Structure 1
Amino acid sequence: MSELPLSGLFHRALTTAAKANDLPTIDDKTQSRAIALSLFSENDLLSDIATRDLVYLLVPFVFSEVEGRVRTVGPEERLERAEHSRRLYRAFLASLETYQIVPESEKALYGLSIPSTADAQKRREVKIKQFQKEKELKARITEVRKRRNHGAPVSEPSSDFELIASLLPESSQKSVPPPADDEDDADTEEILREAILLLLRLTYGQAHAQLQSLEQELQLLRSAPPPRPSQPPADPRRAKERQVDNMWRLDAPRPQGGPDGKGPLLDPSGKPLRPFTILPSQPDRAELQNQVFGPDHRLPTMSIDEYLEIERERGNIITGGGPQSETRLTTKEQLALDAEQDGAVFGEEKAEEQRQQDEKWAQYTDTHPRGAGNTLNRG
């Protein structure tokens, strides 16, 4: 069986990654083949890279995404996987910046570190701008795919892996490379190149977001406490010996002293040595029995309104007074004012009430001379 070409190998890796949510292992043949073929060089320009090779710039991004889905056992293995994934993300971002695929405006937008932004409003604005840019790139990729399909509708990919696989040559699943006459014409190649460049810009933003999350995860993994050393399996002979020793071992003598025979409650300086409860000298048995199943806190016996009403009846609440009482009429002033309403029944009643009060006061002054009640300071 002949060896698969690089496009077919990459297509198979993408298809496997798209179907699996949790991968037990990673096959890095695609990455190794891409390195062995020396498809890219730092001395090349973007225009020097063939369209059919542009898609392989996504190899580090794909395998870093797959690294995040690998099932790990323990924090040490996860730490190793996360560091490997971070190296792949950084290599992917560096390659796109080397070939100047991403515009400066998008590099500045995705270069902002959202977790380090203290202002919540600014974090929200950055997230919105990044989401809008990602939505715009996805829409442009869909339009380019329609043009490549001669205007016919295209199915929405279920994942980025499936989207990358759709941009590979049609013969990527064949065991032999496609013949020269099967290559796309100039217009189709231009459309394919535009789609791949847009996809590289889209994954550039996704790689930045994943890299920021990895940095936080690595910080937590490095600060996690080391795992406890595993205990050696118990020797059955030692366990039997300990069982025999415990059977013949005597209980420790109980401490003497104290009110309950369990030792003193306080040390010589008055510090409590153990918890205890203070009870009345002659506790009521029925009262103690009711407190066993009662609440552990005191419940109120009346509402606040009832308490205020009782205090008001006792005369402990003073009403009135204050600055507003200066402008309020007194009882005698209000009575004099009401008595001036001539010709009304209410005015006549108030006038009679005022006359009776004046008569009572006159009788009181006749029988009580001024100063008669003052019995203080008589020498």
Structure 2
Amino acid sequence: MSGNDETLAQIFRKSETIFLDLQKSSLASNSDEFQSKVNQSIQGFQRSGDMVRQLSLFSENEFMEDISTKDLRFLLTEYYLGELFLKKVSQDRLADLSASKEHFDHFLLQCETHDILTAADKKYLEQLITNAPKDAATRRGEKIARFKREKEMRNQIEEFHKILGTTSSGYEGELSSELEDQYRDFVLLHLQYAIFQTTEQLVGIQQEIPMLKQMQERRAAEGSNDSRASTRNQDDSRDGRVDDSRIWNATGPLMDPQGRPLRPFVITNKKAEMMKGVFRPGHSLPTMSIEQYLDQEIERGNFLSGGTEEPKKKEADDNDEEAVNAETIKARDWDDFKDDNPKGWGNKGGRIG
């Protein structure tokens, strides 16, 4: 059977097997072998998606109960593509993230259309879209609850794998009525787990895309600056001017073969400069005399003139009877005060005891 004659189930199973092997692979994610498998699985799921649309397996008017058990697993196609584009390592990480988000969004839209999304998943998605603020305790509680739910779903999937004897989401044997019910629950559990993983991946994508856009804008700005600098350097070289980028390069020749300066320099008398350094005294020499310094300080107003002599006591005129009488009364009052207050009398209390 040629590749073109493969059925949808065969293409899907082959692509899913590669994807599951990548999940457990010990290869480096940027290795050629790993990336080759990523691209191979992407191509397979893209073919599966095209065939699903051509066959019109899913109608917008159908609910989960209306979809056949064998066809349910093909709803995982968009989820697998979203996961695989996250694993791609290329030069355009932003494009890969955008493609991954587009596939995840399509997968969630399909699940909502066919009434597979639970009320808890819808509430969580609404919070992601609106970016509703939460306190630390609420966020921690949600993380713990989602971690427990993820662990429980993984354990249930492992149990189904043991019961059905399969390692993928498909079952190739004949399904009895009892086995079909178990297989349907198994596929629905796969879809619930894929919805859970999708919401977690979308959180990371929403955080990474803005950072990548900022990096692209910064690189574009730097590229524009480098282009302007290159143009300016070319103009400077034509004009014979020194390149600014080499100003601080203090080594190498001063001029190029054409006689143009390669770095700034000052022409000096080296011998005279060395002599000044050798015969210089060890201390700093004064730059002005004391008289010059005092004159400068006086001009600045830092010294006040006058006020160095004691004021002369004004003597009373003998012909001025009022002045003479005032001086006499003042002298008598002073004598009376000294009689009433002998010298040292105020310290006697300090010497008691």
Give the TM-score, by structure 1 length: 0.54
- Structure scoring higher RCO (CA < 8 A, sep ≥ 6) equals 1
- For the pair 1:5 / 2:7, whether they are aligned, the reply is yes
Aligned pairs for 1:4-83 within 5 A: 4-20=6-22, 21=29, 22-24=34-36, 25=39, 26-27=42-43, 28-73=46-91, 77-83=92-98
Deviation at 1:104, TM superposition (A): 1.1
Does the 8 A contact of 2:76 with 2:191 survive in 1? yes
Task: Provide the identity percentage.
Answer: 26
Quick one: structure 1 residues 132 and 110, their matched pair in 2 at CA, closer, same or farther if it must change by over 3 Å? farther
Offset from partner CA, 1:113-146 (integer Å, 9 cap, x none): 3975442222111111111121222233333334
Quick one: structure 1 residues 44 and 118, their matched pair in 2 at CA, closer, same or farther if it must change by over 3 Å? closer
Structure 2 unaligned residues grouped into runs of 5+: 23-28, 243-252, 274-281, 286-341, 349-353
Q: Find 1:142's aligned residue among 158, 174, 182.
A: 158
Offset from partner CA, 1:38-83 (integer Å, 9 cap, x none): 211101121221111100000000011000111111xxx2111111
Tell me the secondary structure at the aligned position of residue 13 of structure 1: helix
Structure 1 unaligned residues grouped into runs of 5+: 155-162, 171-181, 262-278, 283-370
Aligned pairs for 1:59-138 within 5 A: 59-73=77-91, 77-109=92-124, 111-113=126-128, 117-138=133-154
Aligned partners of 1:254, 1:244: CA distance in 2, in Å? 11
Does the 8 A contact of 2:35 with 2:88 survive in 1? yes
Aligned partners of 1:280, 1:9: CA distance in 2, in Å? 92
Quick one: structure 1 residues 110 and 142, their matched pair in 2 at CA, closer, same or farther if it must change by over 3 Å? farther
Tell me the secondary structure at the aligned position of residue 56 of structure 2: coil
Deviation at 1:4, TM superposition (A): 1.5
Does the 8 A contact of 2:157 with 2:186 survive in 1? yes
Aligned partners of 1:31, 1:113: CA distance in 2, in Å? 27
Tell me the secondary structure at the aligned position of residue 113 of structure 1: helix
Aligned partners of 1:184, 1:4: CA distance in 2, in Å? 22
Aligned partners of 1:148, 1:14: CA distance in 2, in Å? 17
From the two aligned structures, give the one with the greater helix fraction: 2
Counterpart of 1:14 in structure 2: which amino acid?
Answer: E
Deviation at 1:281, TM superposition (A): 2.2
Tell me the secondary structure at the aligned position of residue 128 of structure 2: coil
Aligned partners of 2:125, 2:156: CA distance in 1, in Å? 19
Does the 8 A contact of 1:110 with 1:130 survive in 2? no
Give the TM-score, by structure 2 length: 0.57
Does the 8 A contact of 1:46 with 1:99 survive in 2? yes
Offset from partner CA, 1:70-118 (integer Å, 9 cap, x none): 1111xxx211111111111011011111111132134324554397544
Quick one: structure 1 residues 376 and 254, their matched pair in 2 at CA, closer, same or farther if it must change by over 3 Å? farther
Counterpart of 2:11 in structure 1: which amino acid?
Answer: L
Counterpart of 2:76 in structure 1: which amino acid?
Answer: L
Aligned partners of 1:59, 1:373: CA distance in 2, in Å? 113
Q: Tell me which residue corresponds to 1:249.
A: 260
Aligned pairs for 1:231-310 within 5 A: 246-247=256-257, 248-249=259-260, 254=266, 281=284
Quick one: structure 1 residues 253 and 95, their matched pair in 2 at CA, closer, same or farther if it must change by over 3 Å? closer
Counterpart of 1:52 in structure 2: which amino acid?
Answer: K
Counterpart of 1:29 in structure 2: which amino acid?
Answer: R
Q: Tell me which residue corresponds to 1:194.
A: 185
Offset from partner CA, 1:23-51 (integer Å, 9 cap, x none): 25331222222222221110112122111
Counterpart of 2:52 in structure 1: which amino acid?
Answer: A
Aligned partners of 1:78, 1:185: CA distance in 2, in Å? 46
Does the 8 A contact of 2:169 with 2:190 survive in 1? no
Q: Could you list the structure 1 runs, at least 4 aligned residues long, displaced by more than 6 angstroms after superposition.
A: 229-232, 241-245
Counterpart of 1:6 in structure 2: which amino acid?
Answer: L
Quick one: structure 1 residues 31 and 101, their matched pair in 2 at CA, closer, same or farther if it must change by over 3 Å? same
Counterpart of 1:219 in structure 2: which amino acid?
Answer: P
Counterpart of 1:4 in structure 2: which amino acid?
Answer: E
Quick one: structure 1 residues 373 and 18, their matched pair in 2 at CA, closer, same or farther if it must change by over 3 Å? same
Q: Tell me which residue corresponds to 1:175.
A: none
Does the 8 A contact of 1:7 with 1:169 survive in 2? no
Offset from partner CA, 1:163-182 (integer Å, 9 cap, x none): 5xx22133xxxxxxxxxxx5
